[in-house]
Amino acid sequence: MAHPAETLEPKRRSFRNFIASIRYSIEGFFAALQHEPSFREDLIFAVLLVPFAIWLPVNAVSTALMISSLILILVVELLNSAIEWVIDYLRPEQHPLAKRIKDMASAAVFLSYINCIVVWSIMLWPSNAVWRRILG
């Protein structure tokens, strides 16, 4: 007997699929903007800090790390929100495992914030040459 995965044809990709994927991604982004206050707050945080990261007199790699740490927060917040929506859809009543799943997803957002703080702290540490370039 053939394994079910062996009988399936490979998924075909076309330019139309690619455009549809982009459209779904944009719809998901705007759904998060509309329905997730935490995502809106994180986005404002990122929009305010990205120009500052670009303005700082650090090398391109440092700037990229600082911006990436902000984008990571947004990505993890989107995943956290998606997990919460799925749990609420599948199990609207309270359940200890549902709470644990949501708490773990929230912990991922918290860790992404810690990552951002660590990256920015390292880049802006007083002994780093950034302050000498900014102040004088």
Under a CB-based contact definition with an 8 Å cutoff, are residues 42 and 74 in contact?
yes
User: One of 6, 9, 36, 77 is an active-site residue; which one?
Assistant: 77
DSSP 8-state symbol, 3: -
Question: Is the sign of the CA dihedral 74, 43, 120, 115 positive or negative?
Answer: negative
Cβ(107)–Cβ(101) under 8 Å? no
Task: Give catalytic status of residue 77 as yes or no.
Answer: yes
Spatial distance between the Cα atoms of 45 and 39, rounded to a whole number of angstroms: 10
Catalytic center residues: 77
